[in-house]
Structure 1
Amino acid sequence: MAAQVETDVAIIGAGPVGLFAVFECGMLRMKCVVIDALEAVGGQCSALYPEKPIYDIPAHPSIAGGELVAALEKQAEPFGATYLLGRRVEGLAKDGEAILLTTSAGDTVRCKAVIIAAGAGAFGPNRPPLEGLPGYEASGAVRYMVTRREEFRGKRVVIAGGGDSAVDWALSLKDIAAKVTVVHRRPKFRAAPESAAQLDAAAQRGEIELAIPYQLHGLKGDGSTLESVVLATLKGEEMAVPADHLLAFFGLSMDLGPIAEWGLGLERSHIAVEPSTCATNIDGVHAIGDIATYPGKLKLILQGFSEAAMAAHAIHPRVFPGEALHFEYSTSKGVPAA
């Protein structure tokens, strides 16, 4: 059923940065509505790597993506945000001083400010051009993400790709899978140097097999159950690797969707913002996290968290015009009542 909502701030994107924006707005007594195309909060952390460890969250030497999202949900919970999930924002229009958002589910959200925390927009995996791929995707034999490591216990797993996801999951699954084979077209990986070094060490110990320089060439099986993955070199040399699963990590294809039609200042599919306020070229609209760009921008979750705080403070005068905002540390002010 379509919702008609009036609120202070509409947050587009329910990933980690969007969830933290709920907290930051709540600390300034601003009510929020959060809209996301996915059916659950967490963005890429939940959809792509809920069990994958993240190492650059302050005070957490290591925390799984799903655990981080759960903690951010709990942190935002006291502020009673409304979540409109499983729909995407289609339209943005000004209504006097207010902003009107419309969604694919027919919702209308009237707010005083908007925070776009949409990551890099809608995303989907880059699929390898292999014959019969849809049937193996449907059965789960070919996947582009790992949600539960236990599903691969005792299985033969082929991992294709040369970035962080491929290397990290190879290292993570080697202890539970019957066999892990990593396919890459060249010896040098694009992963973090320490992770690449661990992969080399695991290969030398026989814990992981490296198929280099090979690329994916075909799938063998009955169209649903996978028997082997066919690899080939650029010279046409082929070999078949017995496998129960193929994990293909070739990155994500990004699509800003309707956001690209709103008249925002775009730079290479990112939204240009003013660094100190994260304000866009549309009055009352701010962008934070991976979708925002400015000189010196770092694509780190912790930078997105900082941007959430800056945007919330910049928005406060729109929600409470004429009211002075006296900054206080959370240790002294506590969490305001919802």
Structure 2
Amino acid sequence: MDAGADTDVILVGAGPVALFAVFQLGLYGLKCTLVDSLHRAGGQCAVLYPDKPIYDVPGFPRIDGLDLTARLLEQIAPFAPRLHFGTTVTGFAQQPDGRFRVTMTDGAAIGASVVVIASGLGTFVPGEGEPSLEAGPAPGWPLERTKDAFIVDAERFETSQPGVFAIGDACHYPGKLRLILSGFHEAALMTQAVRRISFPGGRTALAYTTSSSRLRKKIEGAVSSQE
């Protein structure tokens, strides 16, 4: 990808919750870029339990981490996200125009209207054998947090920094459950908040894939081209 290219939303992490967020955001025409220290999508599912069965994903009596990741990648394909692997987000700074400049360990920088932290419990660092999970630079970011997660409100999933959101294991709020299905719910609600930021004044309506012919055409057309 063109690491210097601007995007609508940059997602820190490329695990299942981040991937589903791309689908939700894509329904509103928002272009996404994902940054992950691993060299592939999947996050903890890809590294910690690729073959371990997961039983609490709706619609799947049983699915493993790699299969879930593959299905999510297929689901977001119509929205053509940019995937920037093998690097870590070191920080972000809001510019005078309100957008964010997001910097990475490989020296690249990306401009984005919104930052979504979906980095799980930390950053995977390559080493001998399987990557190890470390805290990474996130604990130093100027955001209100608990011991290992960023504090968000349970309606918008916005952090203490306007325009910066957190979902999945990276966020904390009263009643938080660290489950993949909870992360999917958080991604959907976060998307509605981002939609209102991106299209103020009610210029875009809540989109339903079951009733929007435009969305069905886009999604089904991409699926057909893959067959």
- What TM-score does the superposition give when structure 1 sets the normalisation length? 0.60
In the TM superposition, what is the alpha-carbon distance from 1:336 to its structure 2 partner?
A: 6.8
**CA-to-aligned-CA distance 1:10-35 (integer Å, 9 cap, x gap):** 01100000000100000111000000
Kindly report the root-mean-square deviation, in angstroms, between the aligned alpha carbons of the 2 structures: 2.2
Partner of 1:23: 23
The answer to whether residue 186 in structure 2 is matched with residue 307 in structure 1 is yes
Q: What is the distance in 1 between the residues matched to 2:20 and 2:216?
A: 14
Residue 36 and residue 253 in structure 1: after superposition, are their counterparts in 2 closer, same or farther (change >3 A)? closer
Q: What is the distance in 2 between the residues matched to 1:13 and 1:105?
A: 15
The structure with the larger Rg is 1
Partner of 1:37: 37
SS of 2:137's partner is: helix
**CA-to-aligned-CA distance 1:133-160 (integer Å, 9 cap, x gap):** xxxx96xxxx779xxxxxxxxxxxxxxx
Q: What is the distance in 2 between the residues matched to 1:120 and 1:87?
A: 17
Residue 144 and residue 89 in structure 1: after superposition, are their counterparts in 2 closer, same or farther (change >3 A)? closer
Instruction: Give the aligned length.
Output: 216
Partner of 1:329: 208
Q: What is the distance in 2 between the residues matched to 1:25 and 1:12?
A: 15
Work out whether residues 47 and 130 of structure 2, in 8 Å CA contact, stay in contact via their aligned partners in 1. Answer: no
**CA-to-aligned-CA distance 1:153-187 (integer Å, 9 cap, x gap):** xxxxxxxxxxxxxxxxxxxxxxxxxxxxxxxxxxx
- What TM-score does the superposition give when structure 2 sets the normalisation length? 0.88
Partner of 2:154: 275
**CA-to-aligned-CA distance 1:107-153 (integer Å, 9 cap, x gap):** 111010011000111147xxxxxxxxxxxx96xxxx779xxxxxxxx
More strand by share: 1
Q: What is the distance in 2 between the residues matched to 1:5 and 1:101?
A: 11
Identity of aligned residues (%): 40
In the TM superposition, what is the alpha-carbon distance from 1:286 to its structure 2 partner?
A: 0.3
Where do 5+ consecutive residues of structure 2 fail to align? 220-227
Q: What is the distance in 2 between the residues matched to 1:259 and 1:54?
A: 28
SS of 2:120's partner is: coil
Work out whether residues 6 and 111 of structure 2, in 8 Å CA contact, stay in contact via their aligned partners in 1. Answer: yes
- Runs of 4+ aligned residues of structure 1 deviating over 6 Å after TM superposition are none
Tell me the amino acid that sits aligned with residue 41 of structure 1: A
**CA-to-aligned-CA distance 1:292-328 (integer Å, 9 cap, x gap):** 0000011110010011111111011222233433223
Work out whether residues 35 and 88 of structure 1, in 8 Å CA contact, stay in contact via their aligned partners in 2. Answer: yes
In the TM superposition, what is the alpha-carbon distance from 1:106 to its structure 2 partner?
A: 1.2
Q: What is the distance in 2 between the residues matched to 1:258 and 1:92?
A: 11
